[in-house]
Structure formats: structure tokens, C-alpha cells
Amino acid sequence: MGLALVGLLLLLKVLSNRYTAITVPTKIQDFITLSSSIIIEALPFVLLGIALSILVQVWLPENLLLRLLPKRPTPRRIALSFLGIFLPVCECGNIPLARGLMVKGLTVSESLTFLLAAPILNPITIITTQQAFGSDSTILIARLLGGFAIANIVGWFFAGKQKQQALLTPEFAATCKVDHRKTKHQHNKVKQSFQIFASEANVIVPALFIGGFVAGFVQVMVPRSILISLGGDPIWSIFAMMMLAFIVSICANVDAFFALAFANTFTTGSLVSFLVFGPIVDIKMISLMRTTYTKRVIRTVILVTFLVSACLGLVVNYAF
């Protein structure tokens, strides 16, 4: 139904451009364009994330991933921070993958460490950031340090919580209690894979569509001229770019080129804040996280990400 709706919106836009008799208000056209572009950009990564989640849950040998990770909590979370290097999926696809890792045996705090670090500490994001800002290594280094710091601060904070299951939504907590490996379909991995795909898609894809439509609506209603007018101030530019990152909800794999368009009008620190804050906290990502984590967890993630991103931006603006 969601795909059919996007198709209908795209058809309406094409017809409005082709036939002048069909007039659609500019704001509605912008809403259609922005919402559909966010969904079309993110959907392949969501499907890839579900596929990788199935690979982890069904096809990997029993407890292989858990055996390869360090046993001590802190080194274990550090190792999970770099797991995105081997699983280069953007933030949208990492939600179903994090869910699969929890079903496989990771704690909630460990899944959060992976989820928050992976969009930034992965080869595609590193390469695109380097290509966009090759002349200024400060932006790339600050982005990597920021992503690593946020992931491990959040992971450390929730690692001390005794009741890890209480950090999950009741629906997903019930899923984690089911041992998929001992079901009667154990011998038929193909059938089990399709069952997990259907279950994950029913949860994740609707959240993606809701987040995409909300992000498109907010972009249409909030004038960018207000944000751009703050670009030269070393403090307000940081908050403006973080607000822009929250609104546009662009994929981490390509957001560096989007930020590059503001390089001449915004401070370097504000660009760093945009590139650290956006992959973790935006409208689309919050909508997806609500399928798995409680509101308390999401509020903590937003607060830590905001503080670290803002501090990084201020340090870059005043020290470099």
C-alpha cells in the first residue's frame, strides 16, 4: 500500500508537469518530491538491512558472531563500533540489522553501540566525506570521532541497566524471547528467512513511510531562508545545521555532498555538527527507532547526540 501511494504521488507529479490543465499547488508538489525522494533513497537500504538481519539470524553458524566478539563489555562495545566497516548499510538499514543482532544474543546496549556508530564508521560514508571535503581533513576526523564517542557513551550508559529487556518495546521484547533456531522450521531455512522478512518488513517499512512523509511535510513548512540566515554565526550556525539535518533526513552515505553546498555560507564546525547529528537523529530515524526501543532510550540518544555534536562543532569553530 505504501509503494502504491508513492507511485500515485509520482504519477500525479508527472501528469501535473506534462499537462498544464492539471495544476497542483507548489507546496504539494514539493511535499511529493521530498517525501518520495526520502523513501526511495532509504528503501533499498532498509531491504538490505533486513536481508543482512536474516543472514545473521538464520544462515550464520550458531553463535559465530558472539564467539568472535571480545568477552569483556567495554572492548566488546568498541569492537561493535567498527562492525559497520564490514556491513556498509546506512542508518535506515541498520535498524533491522540491530534487531537481528539482538535476536541472536546481543544486549540492548550493545545493539545501540552498533546502531549509532555504523552509519558513520562505514567505508561508504568515509569515502564520500573524504571526496566532498578532501581539502579539509578536520571534518572527516571530527565526524569519525563524534560517531565513535556517541555510540560508546550511549552504550556505556545503558550497559549498567540490569533489565535490558525493559529498554525495548513490548512487541519486540516478545520477539526476542522466541528462539527462532529451535522452531519446527529449523530444517527449512529458506521458509524461515521468508517468515522473518515478512515480519520485519511489516514493522520497519510502514515506519519508514511515516517518517518520510513527516520529513517532507516539515521541509515544506519550515523556510530554509531562516536557517541560512544564521550560517555565519559560530554558535547559531551549529544549531541551524543540526535542525536542518533533523528535517531533511538524508542518508548518511550521501549527506556529505548535501553539506558541501553550505560550505561557503556556514561555519566548518556547523558542517561537522550536521554530519554527526544527522545520521543518528532525524525524523525518519526516530520513526524507525520507535519500532524497537522505548521512548526513554530514544530521548537519551537524542540528548547525547545533540550535546556531543554541538560540542564538536564549537571546538572546530573556535580551535581550528
**pLDDT by position in tens, the chain (length 320):** 667 776 777 777 676 666 555 566 778 888 888 888 878 877 787 788 788 778 877 777 756 777 888 889 999 999 999 988 887 777 777 888 888 888 888 899 999 999 999 989 988 888 888 988 887 789 999 999 999 999 999 999 999 887 888 899 988 888 776 554 444 445 588 888 888 888 778 877 887 788 788 878 877 886 767 767 777 788 999 998 999 899 888 888 778 888 887 887 889 999 999 999 999 998 889 988 998 999 999 999 999 999 999 999 999 999 88
Q: How many residues can be counted in the chain? A: 320
Closest CA to 10 of 37, 48, 49: 37
**3-state SS assignment for residue 293:** strand
Question: Residue 293 phi/psi, 5° resolution?
Answer: -110, 155
3-state secondary structure 28-91: HHHHHHHHHHHHHHHHHHHHHHHHHHHHHHHHCCCCHHHHHCCCCHHHHHHHHHCHHHCCCCCH
Closest CA to 102 of 164, 45, 159: 164
